[in-house]
Structure 1
Amino acid sequence: MKRFLFVLLSILIFSCSLHKKEYVLTYTGLPYQDSTLNIPKHILPGIIQCEYYDFGGEGVAYHDSDNKNSGSGELNKGISYLDQFRVSEAVDISYTKFHDDIDNSPYSIVKPKKDQLYIGWTEPGEWIRYTVNVQESGMYQVGAMYTSNRGGSIRLFIDDTDSTNQINIPTTYDSMIH
């Protein structure tokens, strides 16, 4: 099994390449684990949700352009586990509730399930890191469910090496039904 460190800028799409052991040895973040939601270690092939980025804080596991969590810290005022999910970190995390047009917009062509955690309010230059165990050598591709009213771009770094260049992502806003 090989261990990779992924750095995602804003959203998620990536493919694996070669492992650099010396980079992994100097990384101070810790892989994400959650006993409440029973989240296993990140293994490829498999599914990695954006909000399950590494532990380590600002500058290690993530970079956020402001010091507030616009989801758990400001939007979600309840006391449930989802309302308080990673509330002390600046990465903007929320979950779908479907009680208003934010999560249930008739103009969005993406329809996530209820109580789906997500990272939102992303700005250029923000990034998040994931430690991933790869079970078998080879090329891997992962698609992403995302919403964007303007479109944008993402990149993937593996062990601090740009592995994708810029990937443009289209808007999910459906102007045909607006």
Structure 2
Amino acid sequence: MKMSLQQFTARSTHPQWYTGALLLLLVIAGCKKDNTYRNAKPTAEVPVNTYDFLKSQQGLYDTLLYLVDKAGLTDTLKNENITFFAPQDYSIKTALYNLNFSRGKYGFKGDWTLDSVPAAVWDTLLRRYMMRGKVGADSLQYADGVMLNTLAYNYQMNGKSVPTAASGIQNGGPLVLQYSDMNRSRFIRDWSTSITQSIDLKTANGWLHVLESKHVFGFVSLVPMAFPYSLNPIQSPYLGLPSPIPGTIEFEDYDDGGEGLAYHDNDGGNNGNQYRTEAVDIENCSEGTYNVGWTGGSEWLEYTVEVASDGAYAVALRMASGGGGGNFRLEMDGVNVSGTVHCNDTGGWQNWVTVNTTVNLTAGKHILRFYEESGGYNINKMTFYKL
């Protein structure tokens, strides 16, 4: 550490030095543990533009620069006076993996490459990492950070300087920057935040901060922008796995997916105000846990199930009625498998009885629907037994 950073810069005329510039900053950060370093201006400077500096970092930014070229932002990084919060290639690969995972979840092929995503999407998201002029650590030292308008489109981000701890000394380490996509919200809980790995590198035309490798490119925007279909709700088991048959299914554990996909309810709210926030009417049950109530004709609930084997099954449903009872049926993949079943008046909405029926099922994963032909009863749970 005898040679100063300025002396090292002045004596280095070979391109290989650029590869070690950021590493040197990290080494210096590790050697300095006190507030003198934290409050200093540890600025490294390279005599090349931002684009060429990133290009010299072998293997770290090849994918990033490919997207910069694809989006038509090459001249911007070479000539314009901007600050760039640079994501690393690993961040982009992670984002592409998430995109293909989402496509597979919706039944599409998960085989998209960088070129499958429209160039306009890459352009929009890359600009969220760029600001005009200098945005250095010294300008972001405010408790709530600083609102930053990105290059074009006037999209708002937030930057904040945060001191780190070192060797047990609070605020004794180097500064890092929190760079946050505000998601068009003033509430921090809605923000998506990444941390810098190194900061305040001065290039010939601007300033460079490098984001940590675990940052996901685009924050939370790449998947919905590149694959808008992912914004559609998808039906899935409420508890994460299909309900096994034989077994017991609690009626309040209907599938996720929302109105018209996993359930249909005739009114707009949860009349029982329990357990879940959707329109299905759920209340506390005298038999424990919860039951579904306020049933009405044409309402239904769906459950993803896994049937162990082909054959006949007995179904025992715990039901109650204080209003004359009513009819229902069970459907499997849209096929009526039970016929119309009647629940009698039990003398009270929490006076539970067992209503029995039988169904023939085939092995495998299916969608079970409880269809309320007339309503007029409460439903707690149903148990399937192999006959």
TM-score when scaled to structure 2? 0.28
Consecutive unaligned residues in structure 2, runs of 5 or more? 1-106, 108-233, 349-387
Q: Deviations over 1:72-111 (max 9, x none)?
A: 1xxxxxxxxxx4x112x00001113xxxxxxxxxxxxxxx
In the other structure, the counterpart of 2:337 is 163
Question: Identity of aligned pairs, percent?
Answer: 38
Partners of 2:255 and 2:289 lie apart in 1 by 19
Q: How far did residue 137 of structure 1 move?
A: 1.8
Runs (4 or more) in structure 1 with deviation over 3 Å come to none
CA-based RMSD of the aligned residues comes to: 1.8
2:240 is aligned with 1:30: no
Indicate the structure with greater helix content.
2
Out of 279, 290, 310, the residue aligned to residue 137 of structure 1 is 310
Distance 2:237 2:300 in 1: 16
Alpha-carbon distance in structure 1 between the residues aligned to 2:256 and 2:331? 18
Partner SS, residue 304 of structure 2: strand
In the alignment, what sits opposite 1:55? Answer: 256
Q: State the distance in 2 between where 1:29 and 1:118 align.
A: 21
Structure number with bigger Rg: 2
Alpha-carbon offset, residue 116 of structure 1? 2.4
Equivalent position of 1:148 in the other structure: 321
In structure 2, the partner of 1:11 is none
Q: Give the corresponding residue for 1:127.
A: 300
Residue 154 of structure 1 aligns to a residue whose secondary structure is strand
- Any idea what SS the aligned residue of 1:71 has? coil
1:95 paired residue number: 284
Structure 1 Cα separation of the partners of residues 254 and 314 of structure 2: 18
Distance 2:276 2:321 in 1: 23
Q: Which runs of 5+ in 1 are unaligned?
A: 1-24, 35-39, 73-82, 97-111
Tell me the secondary structure at the aligned position of residue 303 of structure 2: strand
Measured in 1, the distance between the counterparts of 2:276 and 2:325 equals: 26
* C-alpha displacement of 1:166: 1.4
Larger relative contact order (CA 8 Å, sep ≥ 6): 1
Q: Aligned residue pairs: how many?
A: 115
Alignment partner of 1:116 out of 280, 284, 289: 289
Which amino acid letter does the alignment assign opposite residue 138 of structure 1? Answer: G
Other structure's SS at 1:31 match: coil
* Structure-1 residue corresponding to 2:276: 86
- For each residue in 1:94-132, what CA deviation from the matched residue of structure 2 results, as whole angstroms up to 9, or x when unmatched? 113xxxxxxxxxxxxxxx42x421100111110000110
Conserved? CA contact 2:319–2:343, under 8 Å: no
What displacement does 1:164 show? 1.9
Report the alpha carbon displacement of residue 44 of structure 1 after superposing the two structures with TM.
0.7
Partner of 1:173: 347
- What is residue 65 of structure 1 aligned with on the other side? 266
Contact 2:265–2:300, Cα closer than 8 Å, also in 1 = yes
